[in-house]
Amino acid sequence: MLGRMIDGAMYTVELHELIAGRRAVIAGVPGAFTPVCTCRHIPDILENAARLRSAGYDLIACVAPNSPWAVAAWAAEVDPAGVMTFLSDGNLTLARALGVTVSAPELLLGETSARYLLATDSGIVRRLNVEAKINNVDCTRARDVLID
């Protein structure tokens, strides 16, 4: 179960329902407001959103392991136009299901999500790229899902 803020209200979202019958690209990040996520990873996805949509991805989302309120505040900062759908994985439910949790005590993040890029088609995982280190953005850029 993920969280999503809409007009100041928190809603729960089941990922399988959100991605059913559509092509989706989901960027998983280690934390809202963190420098690599804010300055490199999500801006790359946003800059390439039109290319992703022309490649057939009708859902472009970001999942962060923070509370829905923190994720919404971050989304307003990094994506004021609302190009992406921002979701909270505050309980790490999705990260654990995907097997992408990491421990980052050196960054004071504790247990968090690895940086990943997930591409699905009608709920079927077509690609799951996971960075070797959470500060890397080597295989989780928009172009890494557009190579198909």
Q: Give me the active site residues, please.
A: 37
Q: For residue 146, which of 23, 20, 22 has the smallest C-alpha distance? A: 23
The rounded Cα 69 to chain-centroid distance in angstroms is 16
| Residue listed under structure tokens 């179960």 | 1
Asked if 32 contacts 70 with a C-beta cutoff of 8 angstroms, the reply is yes
